[in-house]
Amino acid sequence: ALCLLGGRRLVRVRDAGDGASDAVRDLLALPEQSGFVVIEAADLPASSSLRKLIEAAPAAMALPCYHDEERQLDGLVRALLREHGLSLDADALAFLESHLGGDRGVTRAEIAKLALYMADRPGEPVSLADVAAVVGDSSALGVEDALVACLLGEAARLDRALARLLAEGEAPGRLI
């Protein structure tokens, strides 16, 4: 397809795995590329042919994005709260952690937003109501989650997914 605004094209490949290795090898063998290709993959082991190919290619770059595990997230959240001088009761902390995903940038931003919200009450413990009023639900959820819920006939899960996606500004036409 032609680029709408002119210039170089960008092709995005999602959920790639070792099955894409031959195509990527052919792409990397081209003497010149007229566009960009972004390949997204889940956790690829060090033995993955796709991972090895991209990491070894001078014309490609691998950018690993690691999600924080629950234990790591807990430690990060507690360290950031201390850094901002915030203290939370157990319910507020549990709510906060359940509404943060594995993205450190989002976690830092949400806690900074909470600190700003509490700036006029220094030293006061952060309540569950404070956290609920400020922190967005950043746990991983995408259109695919709504689709899976729909295909499995899980109406309640679908309602939650659609409500969250619409609240985050997802275009209704895309959801349909």
Q: What is the pLDDT of residues 58-114, one digit of tens each?
A: 989 888 766 556 567 778 888 888 899 988 888 888 888 777 766 677 788 888 998
Tell me which amino acid residue 153 is: G
Most confident of the ranges 16-25, 35-44, 122-131:
16-25
Q: Mean of the pLDDT values across residues 124-142?
A: 75
Q: Which helix (H) or strand (E) holds 41?
A: strand 35-41
Task: Give 134-144 pLDDT, tens digit per residue.
Answer: 886 554 456 77
Distance separating alpha carbons of residues 25 and 102, to the nearest angstrom = 31
Tell me which amino acid residue 169 is: G
Distance separating alpha carbons of residues 114 and 93, to the nearest angstrom = 12
Q: Mean of the pLDDT values across residues 154-165?
A: 81
35-41 vs 9-16, strand pairing mode: parallel
User: With 0-12 CB in 10 A as exposed, 13-18 as middle and 19+ as buried, what is 60?
Assistant: middle
Distance separating alpha carbons of residues 114 and 86, to the nearest angstrom = 9
Other residues' Cβ atoms within 10 Å of the Cβ of residue 88: 21
| Mean pLDDT across the chain | 82
Distance separating alpha carbons of residues 123 and 174, to the nearest angstrom = 45
Question: What pLDDT was estimated at residue 51?
Answer: 92
Instruction: Tell me 34's DSSP state.
Output: S
State yes or no: pLDDT of 29 exceeds 80.
yes
Question: What pLDDT was estimated at residue 140?
Answer: 45
Distance separating alpha carbons of residues 158 and 147, to the nearest angstrom = 8
State yes or no: pLDDT of 169 exceeds 70.
no
